[in-house]
Amino acid sequence: MKTKVFIRVMAAVAVLLFSTGKSIACAPPKYAHNNKTENGLVVEKEIYKRTSDGKYLEKYRKLLFSYDGEKRVSKKEVLQWDIEKNAYRPHSVYTYYYMGSTCSIELAVYGGDKIRKTERYVYTGYSYGDIQFAECRFFQWDENSNTWISSDKKLNNLLMAEHQ
């Protein structure tokens, strides 16, 4: 009797797990992408978004990558699909500058066809024994003074990795 109850319980659990697992596994991803590579580096990534009914993919964004001589990303352009114009339009541009252990990232965000916001993030890496830190500084472009203004908006001395 105990064996029959145990087998029935296990069968019910198996059916429950199978049906739940199947519904989770069959849930379609929200996004799909297509990468174009050259010399082993991704130079273009087109991102498609699943329609609300889940049956089709529609254009969403395109990412264009440029690299420096050391195969580090030097520029990333983000283009947003404009369904009314049936074309991509600029969304944002990330420009990367490297100097020693410092990486500066300039972000320009578009509003329409014009840049509406420009920011700069400066990351500097430090090592103290087995612990690595990165200092992050944040700057915003000031149109009046035509220069970068430092801001305390972002975190400073962010712990990147503990003991290696």
Q: What is the mean pLDDT of residues 89-100?
A: 89
Give tens-digit pLDDT for 21-34: 544 455 567 888 89
Strand partners, 121: 105, 138
- List residues bridging with 140 in a β-sheet: 119, 149
pLDDT score for 8: 52
When pLDDT is cut at 50, 70 and 90, the band that residue 117 belongs to is confident
| C-beta separation of 108 from 91 below 8 A | no
Is the model's pLDDT at 20 over the cut of 90? no
Choice among 48-57, 92-101, 144-153 with the minimum mean pLDDT = 144-153
Identify how many contiguous H helices and E strands the chain contains and give both numbers: 1, 10
pLDDT tens by residue, 64-87? 999 999 999 999 999 999 989 999
Q: For the chain, list the domains and their CATH numbers.
A: 30-161 (2.40.128.720)
Q: Evaluate if residue 149 carries a pLDDT over 50.
A: yes
Q: Once rounded to an integer, what is the mean pLDDT over residues 38-47?
A: 94
